[in-house]
A and B are shown apart, each in its own frame.
Chain A
Amino acid sequence: MKNYLVQRGLSTIFIILAVVSLLFFLFRLVPGDPTTLVISPALDEIAQKRLLQLYGLDKPLYVQYCLYMKNFFTLQWGQSFFTQENVSAILWYRFWNTFSLMFLAVLSALFLGAIGGILAAWKRAKSFDSVVLIGVTFFQSTPIFFTGMLLLLLLSYKMGLFPTGLMHEPGFDSKTMLGTFLNIDFLHHLALPLLSAVLYYLSLPLLIMRSSMITALGSDYLLIALAKGLSNSRILFKHAARNALLPLITIVSLLTGYAMGGQVVLETVYSWPGMGLAMVESVQHHDYPVAQATFGLMAIFVITLNFVTDIVYCFLDPRIRY
C-alpha cells in the first residue's frame, strides 16, 4: 500500500505542476501584449516598471516561467487590476466562502444519494425504482442555474421565504472567520444555493450507490449472511452497504470536480461571494491576475482532494491495505 500511496503522491505533484504550467502558457495566448497580463494599464509608469521587473517581462520566456512558478507557489499572485488588493488576500476569503457552500452541498448530496441508492436497490419493485431513477435524472438534467432561478422565483420573489442572494444581509459584519459562518443569517442565505446544488449533485452518488448495492446484494456473502440469521438492517448496512461504499468513495473526487465547476454558475445566480463569482467577475473586468490565480487555486483544490480520496479508499478497502 505504501508504494501505491507514494506513487499517487508523486503523480499528484506532477499534475499540479503541469496544470499550473499549463495555466502560464494558456494565459500567454491571450490576445495582445503579454505585459497586459500582469500590468494594469491603470498603474503609473514607476509601478509598471516595478512590476515589469518583478515578473521579468523583459527577460526570456523560460526565466519568466521560472519566476511565475516561484511566485505562484509562494502565494504571490499579484494585485487585482480592479481593486488593487492583493489577489491572495481576496482569494483567501473567497475560498472559504466557496468551501462552506461546496462542502455542505457535496456532503449532503453524498449522504442523501447514498441513502436513496440503498433504498432503491433494496426495493427492487419496478415502480419505486423507476420513480427514483426518473426523478433523479430530471434533477441531474436541469441545469443548476435554471434550478437556481426557479427556486429564486418561487421561494424568494413570490413567497419571500428566503433572500435573493449574497451570503449575508448587507451591512453584516463579523469579527471572526468562524463567526461569519456560524450564525442564522448565513444559514438563511445558504438555504437556496444549497438546495439547488444538492438537487443537482444528488444523482451521481445515488446511481452509483444503487448499482453497487445491487451488486453487493447479489453476492454470495450476502446469501450466507442471510442464512446466518442476521437481521435485515444488519445485512443491509453492515454487509451490503459497507461493500457498496467503496465505489462511492471513488466518485467523491469526481463529484468535487463537478461541484467546483457548478459553483461558478451557482455563485453567479446567488451572488455568493466565492471563487466562482470571482472567476466570472474577473473575466468581465479583464482582471487577469485574479482569473489566473482563481483558476489555479480551484484546480489545485480539486487535484489535492482526488489524492486525499485515494488515501481514504486505501484505508477502507482491506484488499489494498494488506
Chain B
Amino acid sequence: MLEIRNLKVKYLTHLGEIKAVNNFSFKLEQGDKIGIAGESGCGKSSLIKAIVRILPSNTIVDGEIYFKDKNLIAMEDEEFRKSVRWKEISIIPQSAMNALNPVYRVCDQIVEAIRTHSEITRNEALEKTERLLEYVGINPTRMYDYPHQLSGGMKQRVMIAMAIALNPSLLIADEPTTALDVIVQHRILRRIIEIQEELENSLIMISHDISLIAQTCNKIIIMYAGKIMECGDIDAIFYQPYHPYTLGLQNAFPNINILEQNIVSIPGLPPSLIDLPKGCLFADRCPFSQPVCRKEEVNQFEVEEGHFVSCLFTDKAEEFRGLAKREDTWKMRL
C-alpha cells in the first residue's frame, strides 16, 4: 500500500546541508503495524513530515513515495491536500500539548477536519465528533472545552479522535505517548491498537522505546542517521537480530529477571548529519567494522523473507550475537 523508494530529505541551513533521511526504502502492506525505532535525531520525524508533506520550505526531498500506486511527492498540491491529507493519511503528533489551537474549542477543531474532506452539515459533524470522543474514552460533554482546560492525556485522546475521524488508510503516530505518564501511556497505547484493529487501517508508530514497539507492532524498522539498519517482522528481529546496531540496542534494555545486570550501551555519538561519513553510517561505533565497511554505502540485504539488514557481514551474525552480549566488545571501540 505504501512504498517508499530511496527517500532523501535534506535541510538547507547556513551551516550546511543536514541530511536527515538517507536512501530510505521500505514497503508497507495493508493492515501492517510498523514501528520505527531509533535514537533522537535519527530522522524519524523528518520521514513522517516528508510523507505528509509538511516539511518546512528550506528542505529538498528526493526519491519516491508510492501510496496506493500514486507518487505522493510528485502530486499537485491541491490534489494532495484534498485527497490524501487526513482522509487517507493522518497523524497523531508527539506532543498534543501544542497541537491544538488554543483559541478554538476542541469540537470545532475536529469538526473542521471532518468538514474539510466531506460534505456533511455542521450538526452531523458534531454528532460524529461526540461519537469519536466517546470512542477514545472522553466524556462528550468536554467537547465544548478549550484545549487548555483538558489534561495532557485527554488532549492526546482528542488528537487520536481527530486522526481517526475520517477513517484513514494509514495512521501515523509520532511518539504518541512520550509526553505522558506511564499509566496513561499504557491506556492510550492500548486504545490506539484496539482502534487500529477495529478500523483495519495500517499503522506506523514512531518511538525511541523498542519495548513499546515490541508490544504493539508486527514489523519494525531500526533507523540510524536517517538510514534503515534493519527491518522486518518483529519476532525475527527480536530473536534473530543481525545488525550490530540492533544488537547494541538490545543490550541497552535491562531484563527485569536478571539481578545486578550491567547495562552495556553503545559508546560514541551518532554522526554529524552535515558531514556524513563514507560507507556504512554506523561503522564508527560498530565493534565489528572492517575497512571495507567505510568504502561504499551499504545496501539492504534480504537475509530471510521480509527481513532486511544493511550490513556487509550478515553471514557472521551468529558470532556477532554472542560477542555483543559481552561488555568488553563494546568497550574496545573507545
Asked whether any CB of A lies within 8 Å of a CB of B in the complex, the reply is yes
Q: Is B11 an interface residue (CB 8 A)?
A: no
Report the minimal beta-carbon distance from B29 to chain A, rounded to whole angstroms: 23
Q: Are B103 and A228 in contact (CB under 8 A)?
A: no
The proximity string for B residues 34-74 relative to A, scoring 1 for CB distances below 8 Å and 0 otherwise, is: 00000000000000000010100100000000000000000
Nearest-neighbor residue (CB-CB) of B80 within chain A = A229
Check B87 against A221 for contact (C-beta < 8 Å): no
Q: Is the CB of B149 within 8 A of A322?
A: yes
A224 touches B102 (CB 8 A): no
Assess whether B18 is interfacial by the CB under 8 Å rule: no
Given contacts A230-B112, A318-B148, A322-B149, contact A224 B99 (CB under 8 A): yes
User: A200-233: which have CB < 8 Å to B?
Assistant: 219-221, 223-231
Q: Which of B87, B97, B100, B102 contacts A229 (CB 8 A)?
A: B87
**Stretch binding the partner chain, chosen from B88-96, B185-193, B266-274, B325-333:** B88-96
What is the distance, in angstroms, from A25's C-beta to the closest C-beta of chain B? Answer: 45
Contact A228 B85 (CB under 8 A): yes
In which size bucket is the chain A interface?
20 to 34
CA distance A291 to B189 in the complex (A): 71
- The reply on B224 being an interface residue by CB < 8 A is no
Contact of A317 with B103 in the complex, beta carbons under 8 Å: yes
B184 at the interface (CB under 8 A from A): no
> Which residues 99-134 of B sit at the A interface, judged by CB distance below 8 A?
99-104, 112-113, 116-117
Q: Is the CB of B103 within 8 A of A229?
A: no
Is the CB of A239 closer than 8 A to any CB of chain B?
Answer: yes
How big is chain B's contact interface, by range?
Answer: 20 to 34
Q: Does A242 sit within 8 A of B, measured CB to CB?
A: yes
The yes or no answer to A309 lying at the interface (CB within 8 A) is: no
A124 to B54: give the CA distance in the assembly, Å: 17
Contact residues, B165-215 vs A (CB, 8 A): none
Q: Could you say which of B85, B90, B95, B102 has the most chain A C-beta atoms within 10 Å of its C-beta?
A: B102
Query: B85 contacts which of A227, A246, A319 (Cβ < 8 Å)?
Result: A227
* B-side contacts of A318, CB under 8 Å: 102-103, 146, 148
**Cβ of A243 < 8 Å from any Cβ of B?**
yes
Whether B101 contacts A225 by the Cβ 8 Å rule is yes
Given A227-B85, A228-B113, A319 and B102 contact (CB-CB distance below 8 Å): yes
C-alpha gap A231/B57 in the complex (Å): 17
| Chain A residues, CB < 8 A from B85 | 227-229
With A227-B52, A229-B86 already in contact, the answer to whether A243 and B116 are too (CB < 8 A) is: no
Q: Name the contact of B148 in the complex, choosing from A231, A246, A319 (C-beta under 8 A).
A: A319
Question: B82 near A: Cβ within 8 Å?
Answer: yes
- Which residues of chain A in 245-265 are interfacial with respect to chain B, using CB atoms and an 8 Å cutoff? 246
Scan residues 163-183 of chain A and give those whose CB is less than 8 A from a CB of chain B: none
The residue that A243 contacts in the complex, of B91, B95, B102, B117, with Cβ under 8 A, is B102
CA distance A224 to B57 in the complex (A): 16
Q: Is B142 an interface residue when CB atoms closer than 8 A count as contact?
A: no
Please determine whether B146 and A319 come into contact, CB atoms closer than 8 angstroms: yes
CA distance A224 to B112 in the complex (A): 12
Contact of B146 among A221, A228, A322 (CB under 8 A): A322
Contact B103 A243 (CB under 8 A): yes
Q: Whole-angstrom distance between the alpha carbons of A230 and B110 in the complex?
A: 12
Q: A312 to nearest B CB, angstroms?
A: 14
Please, which residues of chain A bring their CB within 8 A of the CB of B95? 220
Looking at the complex, which one of B91, B117, B146 makes contact with A227 (CB distance below 8 Å)?
B91
Q: For A230, what are the chain B residues with a Cβ–Cβ distance below 8 Å?
A: 112, 116
B148 touches A227 (CB 8 A): no
B contact set with A: CB distance below 8 Å: 52, 54, 57, 81-82, 84-87, 90-91, 93, 95, 97-104, 112-113, 116-117, 145-146, 148-149, 162
For the complex of A and B, the 3 pairs showing the least CB-CB separation, nearest first, are A229-B85, A220-B98, A221-B101
* Interface residues of A, Cβ cutoff 8 Å to B: 124, 219-221, 223-231, 239, 242-243, 246, 316-319, 322
Q: List 19 A-B contacts (CB under 8 A).
A: A220-B97, A220-B98, A224-B100, A227-B52, A228-B90, A228-B162, A229-B84, A229-B85, A229-B87, A229-B113, A230-B112, A242-B103, A243-B101, A243-B102, A316-B103, A318-B148, A319-B102, A319-B146, A322-B146
